[in-house]
Structure 1
């Protein structure tokens, strides 16, 4: 099993968690990673998992941004 398959299997699929991660990403953009990690920790999503989710979310947003810029050029 490669790392991408493992990530897909480990990713939570329920809407409530997805909404919390989306809100944490907004907090991360507005107030920084510490605020986003605290937000997730208070909702029962542990430190390492929170870091991984925020980093993955950030990477995904950056990739989408690069693709939009490349398409516009």
Structure 2
């Protein structure tokens, strides 16, 4: 038997648990950063007296016409 006392399997299970916890925490942090980015963009969406829709973080990078919609797309 490769792991007669089960120590390596136990350690592997613990590593997987720690990894899952870290992945969940990373998702919480990313969600918070996305929310802050959307708020930051919403505050800056008025350009030259005109109101533009803020860039959505989850949008596709290209529009229907194939042109790039980057971080400055709200200024077009």
TM value normalised by structure 2: 0.36
Determine which structure has the larger helix proportion and give its number: 1
Determine which structure has the larger strand proportion and give its number: 2
Rg comparison, structure with higher value: 2
By relative contact order (CA 8 Å, sep 6+), the higher-ranking structure is 1
TM value normalised by structure 1: 0.37
